[in-house]
Chain A
């Protein structure tokens, strides 16, 4: 441990340089407060060329592929996470037991997954790891903040200590900072309102031909067809809306308009999509913000007065070195797995309290995601996928209604990327099938091997008809879905790795069942034909449900929306932070990001966590650092 006198001193110490950390650092830097940001991963490179090269060369172009640390070793095996200084989960370690990517194997998976089901979302270690986000910037619907009040029959639900109206102005500021393209009138649904004369910074991103095909299929429905949704009244039309996105529809803040690279995840090659490196650069340009990369916070020190007195860290850029930072205010902005991990690694002066900020015993609990159910098939007429941003539109109008007393909500997004990720990496899989006489795509039933004109005609026909839809399911906060510390497995710095217990509640699974029925309705209306896909019995995300007297096998993926492990609330005994994301236990400690979400809703969490972060920065400036 470094001697106290050698600690770096500043006004505010921030752990984590992702969305929340970057936004807060920038706000404080603009106000001439001295800020030090500790970033566990590599620094922000001067340009994205290395990321792009890594992406191009990757055989599995998974969300993590452009970034560091490397996922694979020289032998093309997954790197042993015990050798990595700041590890990260990957979708490559979500495969069945016993083989490559065994989800339960700590030599292949950074997260120690205790099950019973895998936690399927991942995060990165550069600029907080959210460079690989899609850019979707939905607001929550008002009901999402009052789930206990609105749906009292669901015991897991709690209310947020703030509501939509409290966040409304902060949503607007976040939309400006991230640069969101959308149309105000189109975004008014399920009670979402905007201040008078409000405008998004840029016009909306146009719909794709895939979006238009879905909208056309759902414009006329019968009550019989939609009564299964159990909305207030069965809809006779389901509207497709363009998604608000932090993706430029015109030049904005020195970045160019989207060119439709169809690659938002894992990386936009022209940075038309916002990512936190943009705000980090603005923050450091204030002259008051310093970022220390390859610097891993290892402990939060609490003084006898109950206030945080310093944060200890390990630096691994060169020879490993310990250090510490002292500040007036501390902001932990890791993510909903790394933040509770750090809190639990830290020692509380009271031996009866496990970790820092944890007198409620809620730290690490209520881990949530949006379990992601996907389906795919071929349309009767071409929809021309692989064009435009990965997703341009979705269906949000089914996100709230009386059904929420019984089952989870879902939000639908419409893929513009054909079968790219759903069959293990198209265009490669289908191309290989028709060149080499195989049938892994399930659309080369005759196992034809083609050359020349026949090959061109066949592949054009298959690719231009590919359709993919996804359903983001609402997940209940469950206290046993939690992050703890592994007693056995450590990372390359000798710090305990996160251990994850995770399951889907019946309420959550029933939301996926409703999504399955919605898929059937949509495919029927569009005339989409599904290939005969079977979910392997050994697939760890597989589950079976009885639907209309038939056993149906379903599965889920991760949405990358890691939420809920430091929940906010209005009482100290059942929550970790207040509405300003300030620890109940230590008043100069803030825990920011989607870890503070009390419930998970169905919207992507980024805009909401950005709004909360700006609100927290304002509070720190107004009250704590006056």
Chain B
């Protein structure tokens, strides 16, 4: 990535941007081909003052995404740390995590650019629910209450699962006006495709992106928890 997404004037992550330092040359980034360039473009396009993202916003996005997808925070955002504890989260202390792939930033920017008001509402649900006894259910209950938050939440789940964007308006139309026409979507980026969770939920890997070794398929997979943390 060629620029920090925290470069907006209202960003409050001063002193912590090194957490997001990218550049590790992993098999994933090599395979993702032009992913870095693609991601840089999407980041650059959205980082205006109006959409400034705080560190707290990213924390909320990770909490929201984990609740909706059923996949652990630390899997969606490697090195995510809830402090002082997972049931008593201080947004100032906690760490949204850093990893060289960092697809969460790409996703945050993608949604923020397209549906900012509703997205802000979703992030607020996560902030408000952060210390609920059943945080995931509390977030889900709030999200389900209104069509705009419900369908954007579904788009966000599909984004994490498939690395693809299904517009919330289209999802609503598919439900309210059923037809046989194929669902419309776009793949967000090569990186997003390779980071899709749907087949990791299936204890496998995105097709065309195995991080396993020769012969693994002749043995039963590791338990589901090893893949998704839940």
Contact = CB atoms under 8 A, between A and B. Distances in A.
Contacts of A269: 31, 208-209
A428 B70 contact: no
A432 interface: yes
A453 B230 contact: yes
Interface string A232-263: 00000000000000000110000001111111
Interface string B58-73: 0000000001111100
Nearest to B140: A451
A456 B210 contact: no
Contacts of A428: 162, 164, 183, 185, 198
Given A384-B221, A431-B158, A464-B203, A438 B208 contact: no
A431 B161 contact: yes
A449 B208 CA distance: 28
Interface string A448-469: 0101111111011001100000
A387 B201 contact: no
A258 B215 CA distance: 8
B183 A432 contact: yes
Interface stretch (B7-15, B124-132, B187-195): B187-195
Interface residues of A, number: 58
A269 B30 CA distance: 11
Contacts of B111: none
A388 B202 contact: no
Contacts of A436: 154, 158, 166, 171, 174-175
A206 B166 CA distance: 38
Contacts of A455: 69-70, 157
B218 interface: yes
B212 A259 contact: yes
Contacts of A454: 70
A451 B68 contact: yes
A499 interface: no
Nearest to A263: B208
B174 A451 contact: no
Contact of B67 (A207, A452, A463): A452
A388 B220 CA distance: 12
A470 interface: no
A581 B153 CA distance: 61
B113 interface: no
A189 interface: no
Contacts of A58: 187
B29 to A, nearest CB: 12
Nearest to B170: A436
A85 interface: no
B45 interface: no
B25 interface: no
A53 interface: yes
A56 B172 CA distance: 26
Contact of B201 (A57, A262, A460): A460
A452 B187 contact: no
B154 A52 contact: no
A378 B215 CA distance: 24
Interface in B128-174: 136-137, 140, 143-144, 153-154, 157-158, 161-162, 164, 166, 171, 174
Given A208-B217, A432-B183, A451-B67, A262 B207 contact: yes
A437 interface: yes
A73 to B, nearest CB: 16
A465 to B, nearest CB: 10
Contacts of A249: 214
Contact of A452 (B68, B212, B220): B68
Contacts of B214: 249-250, 257-260
Contact of B217 (A392, A432, A460, A463): A392
A228 B97 CA distance: 61
B91 interface: no
A52 B216 contact: no
Nearest to B158: A435
B186 interface: yes
Nearest to B216: A260
B142 to A, nearest CB: 11
B76 interface: no
Given A57-B193, A260-B212, A451-B153, A206 B198 contact: no
Contacts of A427: 161-162, 196, 198-199, 202
A282 to B, nearest CB: 24
A528 B9 CA distance: 59
Nearest to A389: B217
Contacts of B220: 209, 384
B221 A387 contact: yes
A364 interface: no
Interface string A555-578: 000000000000000000000000
B221 A262 contact: no
A385 interface: yes
B213 A259 contact: yes
Contacts of B68: 451-452
Contact of A263 (B161, B166, B207, B228): B207
B132 to A, nearest CB: 13
A207 B198 CA distance: 24
Interface string A356-393: 00000000000000000000000000001111110010
Nearest to B227: A460
Contacts of B70: 451-457
Contact of A52 (B190, B198, B218): B190
B204 interface: yes
B204 A385 contact: yes
B190 to A, nearest CB: 4
A465 B199 CA distance: 13
B218 A206 contact: yes
B34 interface: yes
Nearest to A268: B208
B224 interface: yes
A53 B207 contact: no
Contact of A262 (B34, B190, B210): B210
Given A262-B210, A420-B207, A452-B68, 20 more contacts: A50-B33, A57-B187, A57-B193, A59-B185, A208-B218, A209-B217, A249-B214, A250-B214, A384-B220, A388-B216, A388-B217, A428-B183, A428-B185, A431-B161, A435-B154, A436-B154, A438-B175, A451-B68, A454-B70, A455-B69
5 contacts: A49-B33, A56-B193, A384-B204, A388-B216, A453-B70
Question: What are the 7 closest A-B residue pairs judged by CB atoms, nearest first?
Answer: A388-B217, A463-B202, A456-B70, A263-B208, A386-B204, A427-B198, A56-B190
Interface of A: 49-50, 52-53, 55-59, 61, 206-209, 249-250, 257-263, 267, 269, 384-389, 392, 416-418, 420, 424, 427-428, 431-432, 435-438, 440, 449, 451-457, 459-460, 463-464
